[in-house]
Amino acid sequence: MEKTVRNQVFTLQGFYFLTFFGVGSLYPLLSVYLSESVGLNGYQIGTIMSIGPIMMIFFQPVWGMVSDSTNRPTQVLSFTSLVAGIFALGYLVTDLYYGILLTAILVAVFQSAIIPVSDSISLKYTSKVKYNYGNIRLFGSLGFGVAVYVMGKLSEGFIGPTIIFYTFFICLVLSAVLAFRFPKERASAKLDLKAGMKELFGLKKFLIFLVVTFMVFGPNLANNTYFGLFVEDSGGTYAGIGLAFLIAVLSEVPFMRIAGSWIDRFGLLSVAALAGAASMIRWLFYFTEPSLWLVYSSAVMQGLAIGLFVPAGLRYIREITPAHITATAVTIYSAIGNGLGNWFSTFVGGFILETFSIYAVYLFFAFLSMIGILLCFVLMKEEKKQALAY
């Protein structure tokens, strides 16, 4: 690998590490901070934590259009990273519910641009220089896992839990600086969503798998909000929360590496169903109020769930949709899982937390996962019918 390419790769890896370190510092511990330090109730916490996915649904396409129309994706990325970091300091200046809600909205609006714009630049560059994109994106998972562990430790020190806001700010400011050194790639072409909508929503398998994604992937993302509260309720400390997240996130790496061979051997839908089953078993186990050491041990189930579902889901969407609308299909798929499914599971989880307990939240997650698994079997049956017809 030539020196110029190596330097660009290091820049991209550094950006992903810092960005996800910032995200991992803030969001997994934010719900605990809002509960313990601010004293908000379950409804309020659920509403605040569900703001991000909602903003993602509406503002990701906006930032994509801004990036495309200006043909300055690196400047857009740098600007939004910087502003998101600055607005996060708003958590330090108010302990009023509506003030915190406004802060969450402002952070989410600008943060929603970071991942899609950086992914667009990274994917195009790695494709051009024939470098594995996964070797760059992996630094994001590493940053997230390390951040939760380190912040959990520091939050118990003399600085206190407010360290998560300062760290998020510093990481995103540094990310904004690195973004200016990104390869000067055009943002990916603006997707014509209207043109492909009618054709996509006429595909039965596509629609069913969107529901699968909503049911399986949504709770896995919402778990980032409630897992800290769950560990705390099980007797864990801030440091314990960080350790549990570190185990869970780093366990995704080996399963992502073997996902391809499992898909080739067992089939896409079988692997997706297995991921859903791993999720359901994990959520049901949490409902039984296990001891803390069992919680730590079971965190590796996240690797089996997310590490398999992410590659299987994306590949399935690519296979069942016509080539000329695959990009549109992937955009909708991402919005349903990362946005709508995440928001729904987080929002409803807040009401369940306030009315019942954190353990009941995980029973709800298990119920959603079960529906997702059943729908995977419906799709398998549909594929068998089509195979017999041919």
Query: Of all residues in the chain, what percent carry a pLDDT higher than 90?
Result: 35
Considering its fold, how many domains does the chain have in total?
2
Q: Based on the number of CB atoms within 10 Å of its own CB, is 387 exposed (0-12), middle (13-18) or buried (19 or more)?
A: exposed
Given pLDDT bands bounded at 50, 70 and 90, which one contains residue 187? very low
Domain match, 197 and 179 both = no
- The verdict on 263 and 377 lying in the same domain is yes
Q: CATH no. for residue 252?
A: 1.20.1250.20
**Angle at CA of residue 306, ends 305 and 309, nearest 5°:** 85
Write the pLDDT tens digit of every residue in 45-67. 888 887 888 887 788 767 767 77
Same-domain pairing of 238 and 366: yes
What is the pLDDT, as a whole number, of residue 29? 84
Q: Are residues 173 and 204 in the same domain?
A: no
Task: Let me know whether 98 and 137 are in one domain.
Answer: yes
**250 shares a domain with 144:** no
DSSP 322: -
- DSSP alpha helix (H) spans, the chain: 3-33, 42-49, 51-70, 73-88, 97-111, 114-129, 134-155, 163-179, 193-200, 204-233, 238-250, 252-266, 268-287, 292-298, 301-320, 326-334, 342-355, 358-389
Residue 140 in this model has a pLDDT that exceeds 70 = yes
- Residue among 149, 155, 163, 167 at smallest CA distance from 245: 149
Selected residue with higher pLDDT from 19 and 316: 19
Residue 292: the pLDDT is 86
Residue 236: per-residue pLDDT: 80
Which of 127, 115, 145 has the alpha carbon at shortest distance from 242? Answer: 145
Query: Rounded to an integer, what distance in angstroms lies between the CA atom of residue 343 and that of residue 154?
Result: 29
Mean pLDDT across the chain, nearest whole number? Answer: 85
Instruction: State which of 143, 166, 183 marks the end of a domain.
Output: 183
Residue 334 has a pLDDT of 77
Domain of 358, in residue numbers: 192-390
Residues of the chain above pLDDT 70, percent:
91
Considering the domain architecture, whether residues 107 and 200 belong to the same structural domain is answered as no
Q: Residue range 33-49: average pLDDT?
A: 85
pLDDT digits (tens, 9 = 90+) for 284-301: 999 999 988 898 888 889
Interval 237-252 mean pLDDT: 80
Rounded to an integer, the average pLDDT of 71-84 is: 91
Looking at the structure, do residues 178 and 196 belong to the same domain, yes or no? Answer: no
Axis-axis angle for helices 238-250, 252-266 (nearest 10): 30
Long-range contacts for 362-366 (Cβ within 8 Å, ≥24 apart)?
Answer: 362/226, 362/230, 362/283, 362/284, 362/286, 362/287, 363/283, 363/284, 363/287, 364/219, 365/219, 365/222, 365/223, 365/279, 365/283, 366/279, 366/280, 366/283, 366/284, 366/287
Query: pTM of the predicted model, to two decimals?
Result: 0.74
Given 135, 159, 183, the domain boundary residue is 183
Same domain as 216, residue 168: no
pLDDT in tens, 336-358: 887 889 889 988 998 898 899 99
Residue 126 tokens read as 């790695």
Q: Are residues 87 and 52 in the same domain?
A: yes
Same domain, 174 and 196: no
What confidence tens digit (pLDDT) does each residue in 188-236 have? 455 555 666 677 888 899 999 999 999 999 999 889 888 888 888 888 8
DSSP letter string over 256-299? HHHHHHHHHHH-HHHHHHHHHHHHHHHHHHHHT---HHHHHHHT
Please check the confidence at residue 158 and state whether its pLDDT lies above 50: yes
Q: Which of 130, 164, 183 is the last residue of a domain?
A: 183
Angle, CA 225 vertex, CA 134 and CA 115 arms, to 5°? 35
- In the block, residue with structure tokens 């729904």: 344
- The two three-digit tokens of residue 318, written as one number: 């690519």
Residue 243 pLDDT greater than 70, yes or no: yes
Quick one: 117 and 47 in the same domain?
A: yes
